[in-house]
Amino acid sequence: MEDNRNEPNVTELVNDVFDKEIDALRSIQHDVNSSYQDAIDLLLACKGKVVFTGVGKSGHIGEKLAATFASVGIPSFFMHSTEAVHGDLGMVSESDVVIAISNSGETQEVLRVLPSLKAKKVKIVSMTGNNDSSLARAADVSLVIHVDSEADKFNLAPSCSSTGVLVAGDAIGLTLSRLIGFTEEGFGLNHPGGALGKKLVAQGILKEL
């Protein structure tokens, strides 16, 4: 049996991950600049839907952000980058804005989507850790969400980077929601089910259906 007596205890290991991700978020917050304003201006001008795209862990974050945007009054959906080049690009129109997510900015599946988006004259916002990447250079607005390392022992598993994109995306979506005047009533109409729906009914914000 392997001797782990010199290893930190479980509480220390858990706290180490918390500390690394919290430190990464503070660093990302420190990097907030005018590009966030540019992205929000572009999204406010959007006449269609906000479309998130990505693959892998970035894709999972994109799915969550699309769900959040939609729930707070910003029509949105997720388009998997691999499926996009096999027909799903037909879901995107010139009136939409695409938010493309790739930590490296060089994810080939994401980059393959860009020529068609450009041909359709679709505006692109990138969320990447590398402002010199192919994705960042191709975007109309580039949001740099850079972390120095991931939270795992080998600095490999997307953790700090994916958390950073998630929080930055939430910040943009919730800011947009406030700017468009999204109300509790609107929130209630989007959340008629589950515990949230019951709470809103109890508060008189939503009529029970």
pLDDT digits (tens, 9 = 90+) for 107-119: 999 999 999 999 9
pLDDT (0 to 100) of residue 150: 98
Task: Please check the confidence at residue 196 and state whether its pLDDT lies above 90.
Answer: no
Pairwise CA distance, residues 104 & 51, whole Å:
20
Task: Please check the confidence at residue 35 and state whether its pLDDT lies above 60.
Answer: yes
Give the residue from 77, 74, 73 showing the smallest Cα distance to 189. 73
Q: What is the pLDDT of residues 129-139, one digit of tens each?
A: 999 999 999 99
pLDDT (0 to 100) of residue 1: 46
Residues above pLDDT 90, as percent of the chain: 83
pLDDT (0 to 100) of residue 5: 62
Q: How confident is the model at residue 34 (pLDDT cuts 50, 70, 90)?
A: very high
Q: How confident is the model at residue 190 (pLDDT cuts 50, 70, 90)?
A: confident
Q: What is the pLDDT of residues 79-105, one digit of tens each?
A: 999 999 999 999 999 999 999 999 999
Pairwise CA distance, residues 62 & 158, whole Å:
14
Backbone dihedral angles phi then psi of residue 207, each to the nearest 5 degrees:
-80, 135
Q: Which domains does the chain have, with CATH numbers?
A: 10-182 (3.40.50.10490)
Backbone dihedral angles phi then psi of residue 7, each to the nearest 5 degrees:
-80, 150
**Range scoring the smallest mean pLDDT among 7-11, 114-118, 156-160:** 7-11
pLDDT (0 to 100) of residue 208: 67
